[in-house]
Amino acid sequence: MSAPIMEAVGLRKHFVTRRPLFGAPTVVRAVDGIDLRIAQGETFAIVGESGCGKSTLARLLIRLLDPTEGSVLYGGRDIAALPREEMRRLRSDLQFVFQDPFSSLNPRMTVGALVEEPMRAHEIGDPAQRRAQVGRLLERVGLRPDFANRYPHEFSGGQRQRIGIARALATGPKLLIGDEPVSALDVSVQAQVINLLEDLKEEFGLTLIVIAHDLAVVRHMSDRVGVMYLGELVEVAEAEALFEGPQHPYSRALLGAIPAPDPSRRGQAPAALTGDLPSPSAPPPGCRFHTRCPFATDRCAAERPVLRDAGRGRQVACHHFESIGAGPGLPPPPARAPHVERRFALYRARSARAATTGATTRETTQQEV
């Protein structure tokens, strides 16, 4: 793996919630001991059931939240210990694309003011330069520059998400985190926004961290995937390797929960998840998945498994993954359109070159949205 742009070390976030009146405080272990390295230029996806801590992890990574324990290193430096001026610079390097394009844009601000705001906050350019940049950014995300004078409510969900993306790009970030960036959009619009994110990533040499429920989106977009369960990472693998043969019993079940498109393979899918996700305020001892795992042994209930190297860049947190073996995985995805395939091939070749020369992948490609 090339030098990480970002690293999480022993990261924990515990929320203490208090019931009204005399209730005892409850500690929610939303993120509970995560170690992770994100490589420069990659798209890393985080998947897992609702409530497993994906959004909390994303917010910790860009310091929208401070950890209870552990640290986040950006460019090798602990972001919690950065002096004020460097923290400001960090804020322009790391940007967030929110899930809900309806509530994340202030309805009283024009689109132009919304996209300009981060530039003003970071004192980038003078007013005329910023206005010109707003026009360029709107065009780049597939909107007309004169939309700058309108208000968010005049736009569709997809257009609003494009405005949110233009706003996130305004400070020239190096790393973009999308928390379910397309899940609030109509299916027909999702692919356009995903294509846009991929083009922008290529054009601006961005690193992307994407949280997505839709595993088809994850498979399409990401280079690597981290599977989370109850605040922990249970498997980290290259996307294709994970989808072809998930190793951790939870990953097997998560992938098995997707209906297989090929009817002849449906019977081979592993049993989909059964039972509810245990509460993150009282996680099971030992392996947190043991209450739902078909392979659990006595050891699993007593001893917490750590992420271990499973070969070819894969890590798995399971005592028995060697003897359990990989799950059947999913059939290959439908072939991409030839022009999209060419773009991917070009990008991967450029990424490989950049990894060896240290150059960034800053080149414009055709826009297909």
Ligand X SMILES: Nc1ncnc2c1ncn2[C@@H]1O[C@H](COP(=O)(O)OP(=O)(O)OP(=O)(O)O)[C@@H](O)[C@H]1O
Nearest CA among 169, 239, 237 for reference residue 206: 169
How many Cβ atoms sit within 10 Å of the Cβ of residue 357?
8
Q: Does 314 bind ligand SF4 (CB under 6 A)?
A: no
The whole-angstrom separation of Cα 302 and Cα 287 is: 7
Query: Quick check: 56 binds Mg ion (CB under 5 A)?
Result: no
Decide: is 296 part of the binding site for ligand SF4 (CB under 6 A). Answer: yes
**Which residue stretch of 5-13, 40-48, 288-296, 306-314 sits at the interface with ligand SF4 (rule: CB under 6 A)?**
288-296
Least distance from C-beta 98 to ligand X, angstroms?
A: 12
Closer to ligand X by Cβ: residue 221 or 228: 228
Among 8, 28, 242, 330, binds ligand X (CB under 6 A): 28
Stretch that binds ligand X, among 45-53, 146-154, 249-257, 356-364 (CB under 6 A): 45-53
Radius of gyration of the chain (CA): 21
305 lies in the site for ligand SF4, by CB under 6 A: yes
Residues 36, 176, 287, 310: which binds ligand SF4 (CB under 6 A)?
A: 287
Integer angstrom CA distances of residue 327 from 93, 243, 268, 295: 39, 9, 9, 13
Shortest approach of ligand X to residue 65 CB, angstroms? 8
Size of the site for ligand X (CB under 6 A): 13
CA angle 220, 322, 272 (to 5 degrees): 50
CB 161 within 8 A of CB 101: yes
Rounded distance between C-alpha atoms, residue 329 and residue 253, angstroms: 10
Cα 342 to its chain centre, rounded Å, is: 24
In angstroms, rounded to a whole number, what is the distance separating the alpha carbons of residues 48 and 303?
Answer: 22
Based on the shown chain and the rule CB under 6 A, indicate whether residue 228 belongs to the binding site for ligand SF4: no
Cβ proximity to ligand SF4, 211 vs 293, nearer residue: 293
Using rule CB under 6 A, residue 229 touches ligand SF4 = no
Question: To the nearest whole angstrom, how small is the minimum distance from the Cβ of residue 310 to ligand SF4?
Answer: 12
User: Residue holding tokens 């209906």?
Assistant: 259
Nearer to ligand SF4, 220 or 252 (CB): 252
For ligand X, give the closer residue by CB, 34 or 293.
Answer: 34
Q: What is the DSSP string of 176-231?
A: EEEESSSTTS-HHHHHHHHHHHHHHHHHHT-EEEEE-S-HHHHHHH-SEEEEEETT
Nearest Cα to Cα of residue 44 among 209, 250, 234, 229: 209
Neighbours of 179 (CB within 10 A): 20
**67 versus 178: smaller Cβ distance to Mg ion:** 178
**CB of 53 vs Mg ion, minimal distance in Å:** 8
Q: Does 280 bind ligand X (CB under 6 A)?
A: yes
Q: Is 295 near ligand SF4 (CB under 6 A)?
A: yes
Q: By CB under 5 A, which span of 50-58, 137-145, 279-287, 290-298 interacts with Mg ion?
A: 50-58
249 binds ligand SF4 (CB under 6 A): yes
C-beta of 114 vs 277, nearer to ligand X: 277
By the 10 Å C-beta count (0-12 exposed, 13-18 middle, 19+ buried), 295 is classed as middle
Answer for which of 151, 320, 354, 355 binds ligand SF4 (CB under 6 A) is: 320
* 305 binding partner (options ligand X, ligand SF4, Mg ion, none; Cβ < 5 to 8 Å by kind): ligand SF4
Q: Which residues bind ligand SF4 (CB under 6 A)?
A: 249, 287, 289-290, 293, 295-296, 300, 305, 318-320
